[in-house]
Amino acid sequence: MSERAELVERAEKLDAADELAGVRSRFVLDDVVYLDGNSLGALPVGVPGRVEDVVRRQWGELRIRSWEESGWWTAPERIGDRIAPLVGAAAGQIVVGDSTSVNVFKALVGAVRLAGEGRDEILVDATTFPTDGYIAESAARLTGCTLRAVAPAEVPSALSSRTAAVLLNHVDYRSGRLHDLPSLTSAIHAVGAVAVWDLCHSAGALPVGLDEHGVDLAVGCTYKYLNGGPGSPAYLYVRRSLQDRFDSPLPGWNSHAEPFGMRSDYAPAPGALRGRVGTPDILSMLALEAALDVWDGVSIEAVRAKSLALTDFFLECVARYVGEGRVSSLTPVAHEERGSQVALRCEDAGDVMKRLISRGVVGDFRAPDVLRFGFTPLYVGFADVERAGRVLGEVLG
């Protein structure tokens, strides 16, 4: 049996045994191998009809009545409660709205205020997505803190009685490395600091366990593994025991205890609602709510199991199809250190990705030399993985 025939047969057997295979029909897909769901998730089939209803009936016919009759007003917390199980949180702790950047700002400044006086240093993940670093620098200036960038593995030794807050990424956006959220959160708490986690590359791809591990604050986007659509709103998690002390740096009328009282003095709403700011982006928010229907009957544990199997198989296909020395993996082999993407270092990576896309394998490129392949278990199958590895080998051959 040829190498290709062997891998194709393996893929067929794995697809036949896949308990999530039926979920693929919940998405609008074509014959392209789509491995860029870690940038923008595929379109769920139920979203266009739901958006049309929002536009034509809720906005077009009910108009202002839809704030109450269509549930627009309660959408941020209602949709937050639907995201909660996917990140291991009980209801009443997540509010949806604003961008990830805005929520990072709210969370980080709020974390410094929670930490209290005498703490004047913020630690930030040195490998973080650039925006998180920009926001952290601004938050440090505004709160009078110094900012120190450290690698996640170095956080325990960098912590001190000065540390107010630590902002970390659960999964490294470039390499796909999964950081140890439980142990790092525990270390942060041991010195009395506040843990803030960015879940953009883990929510919807693997178990997070926010409540279980005592995470204080967390943020995340919804357009990657949650498939909410381009620019869909982000979310903010505030642990229940901290909610009455969470002091958002962006108080708005939507987070006021009496939003329609139009009082000149600010009194924050109870619970996670104080994470709201201004009028919600209803069109994007309700598109996200429709997208979350694809999770009905799906466990995040099953998603994680398939994610690891997909990435294992992809690494094997790359090793078999791609000539020795043509690529090297930045993504850890160990399961406990791997998210749901594989990053390969490659010469002329930008040109290679263009050629892959022209051949129907869609990933993305990160300068200067990284090919990123994201594996969304809800709609990526093992035959897709075999094809991607084979085409990569042909392009590099």
Report, as residue numbers or ranges, the catalytic residues. 129, 198, 223-224, 372
Per-residue burial over 131-148, b if 16 or more Cβ lie within 10 Å, else e, is: ebbebbeebbeebebebb
CA angle 103, 40, 78 (to 5 degrees): 50
Neighbour count for residue 39 (Cβ, 10 Å): 17
CA–CA gap between residue 271 and residue 259 (Å, rounded): 15
DSSP structure string for 294-345: GGTT--HHHHHHHHHHHHHHHHHHHHHHSPTTSEEE-S-SSGGGB-SEEEEE
CA 207, 208, 212, 213 torsion-angle sign: positive
* Per-residue tokens: 192: 């009395």
Q: Which of 54, 43, 55, 166 is nearest to 107 (CA)?
A: 166
Per-residue burial over 73-92, b if 16 or more Cβ lie within 10 Å, else e, is: bebbbebbbbbbebbbbeeb
Which residue blocks in 22-144 are alpha helix, DSSP H?
A: 47-53, 66-69, 75-83, 100-115, 130-143
CA atoms within 13 A on the CB side of 240: 8
CA distances from 213 to 180, 196, 217, 226, 339 (A): 11, 12, 12, 22, 18
- Amino acid at position 62, single letter: L
- Amino acid at position 171, single letter: V
**Residue 150: which H helix or E strand, with range?**
strand 146-150
Residue with tokens 């002329």: 348
